[in-house]
Amino acid sequence: MNLPLYAEDDKDCCDVTIIHDDVVAHASRAQLSEEQVMKMANFYQALSDPTRLRIVHTLIQAEMCVCDLAAVLEMTQSSTSHQLRYLKNLALIKRRKVGRMVYYSIDDEHVLMLFETGLAHISHK
């Protein structure tokens, strides 16, 4: 089956030859929705920042308040809070309020599993 990559009136039109129709059909049906793609891209983008990775790793060790977390990471409370807000908005971490104190922790086991999988991947060679 030949599929045009560009509109018919496009002078730079080229054709794609499909060798395995069944494989292409299966992969086409299995495509993620645009919403799923964007949510996953945002999720991995959050984990692509070294500071946020350090925060996630620290929160895997223990639930912590902003003050303690900032001390461990040697960051200001303001910059720590900014990163925590970003991670919370993407549901990577959660918060628990006790009086005036707010404690942060990993949102669920999926975040832990993904972190550990990434760490295992970079450590196996």
CATH number for 112: 1.10.10.10
Same domain, 25 and 39: no
Q: Are residues 13 and 44 in the same domain?
A: no
Q: How far apart are CA 47 and CA 40, in angstroms?
A: 11
For residue 70, give every residue at least 6 positions away whose Cβ sits within 8 Å of its Cβ, in sequence order, or none: 76, 77, 79, 80
Residue 66: its pLDDT value, please? Answer: 97
Instruction: Evaluate whether 96 touches 66 at the Cβ level (below 8 Å).
Output: no
Cα of 117 vs its chain's centroid, Å: 13
Query: What pLDDT is stored for residue 125 in this prediction?
Result: 72
Indicate the number of domains in the chain: 2
Range of the domain at 117: 34-123
* pLDDT in the model for residue 9: 53
3-state secondary structure of 123: helix
Low-confidence residues in the chain, pLDDT < 50: 6
| All residues at 6 or more sequence positions from 93 whose CB lies less than 8 Å from its CB, including other chains | 55, 56, 59, 84, 87, 104, 105, 106, 107, 111
pTM of the full structure:
0.78
Residue type, 59: L
Residues 26 and 39 in one domain: no
Using the Cα atoms of residue 57, residue 63, residue 65 and residue 68 in order, give the sign of their dihedral: negative
